[in-house]
Structure formats: C-alpha cells, structure tokens
Copies of this chain bind each other. A is one copy, B any other.
Amino acid sequence: MNGSSKDDLLQLENFLCFSVYSAGHAFNRIYKPLLDELGLTYPQYLVMVALWQEDNQSVRSIGEKMYLESNTLTPLLKRLEANGFVVRKRDPEDERSVRVRLTEVGKVLREKAQDVPPCILEATGLDTETAKRLNRDLRTLRDQMDASVKKL
C-alpha cells in the first residue's frame, strides 16, 4: 500500500525535468505582460539583467553567465541593438570579440525594471526564504548536470 509503484516512473508529473520545463514556461507567462511594457522578451530581459550587473561585456562573457552561445546570443543582441538598448562594437584590443554596451536608453530602462522582481515574487506565492532555498537547490542541480555533460 505504498505510493511508489513501477508505474509512477512513467507519470509525467513525477518527472523532475518536466516540472522544471513547465515551471520555466509558467515563468515566461507571468513575465510576459510586465516585459511587454519594457519592450523586452524574457531572454532579452535576462541579458539586460546581466548587463545592468556589469556593462561592456563580450558576447562570450554574457554567454558564460547565461549558459548560451553566440548562435543564440548574436541575433538576440542584434535585436536589442535594433531596439536601441545596447550597442555592439568589435573590441579594438582583440578584434575577434564583440563588446556589448548599454545605451542611455538601456541604462534608464533599469529604473523601469525595478518593479518587476517584486511583482514576480508575489506571483510565485513564495516567501523569500523558500525562494532562496529553491534557487540554491536549482543552481546546484544545474551545475551538477553541466558537470555530468562535460564528463562524457
């Protein structure tokens, strides 16, 4: 009469990967209306957060923080540039790399974006401590999985 039968392994809801997958989509959905007002998509917003944290980063540096590569970032950054939030420019020190810098508009956007995180936290229904714990657990999980990938 215990709850764990062999069938449980095939229940979608029992897949940790599916919970991460569907929670990711749910985040996307709650961010959407808030980010629409800023003129950003969800991944663009995350890149902007990385740039507000440290301006004038190379594509490679942004990629390391975001776990993304140039094939994803280049078009995304071009859109941010087309929308006037950043400027992309080859690094004179090393012409292979491209430096991404915030425009004035991009810097000002940070102020408007201040309201977003509290709104999201409220929508999650989590208290700060639980959110922190979950965050820590998920970072550990991600790092462990990335380490597994590299091992093979």
Contacts and interface: CB of A to CB of B under 8 A. Distances in A.
Interface of A: 9-27, 29-31, 33, 46, 49-50, 52-53, 65-68, 117, 120, 122-126, 130-131, 134-135, 137-139, 141-142, 144-149, 152
Contacts of A11: 53
A22 B124 contact: no
A14 B145 contact: no
A49 B15 contact: yes
A24 to B, nearest CB: 4
Given A20-B20, A21-B27, A149-B30, A14 B124 contact: no
Given A16-B135, A134-B137, A22 B142 contact: yes
A31 B15 CA distance: 13
A31 B17 contact: yes
Contact of A142 (B23, B33, B137, B138): B23
A19 B146 CA distance: 13
Given A124-B144, A141-B134, A17 B21 contact: no
A16 B125 CA distance: 13
A46 B30 CA distance: 23
Nearest to A53: B10
Nearest to A151: B123
18 contacts: A9-B117, A12-B49, A13-B139, A15-B49, A15-B117, A16-B124, A16-B131, A16-B138, A18-B49, A20-B138, A23-B141, A24-B24, A26-B142, A26-B149, A29-B145, A29-B146, A123-B144, A123-B149
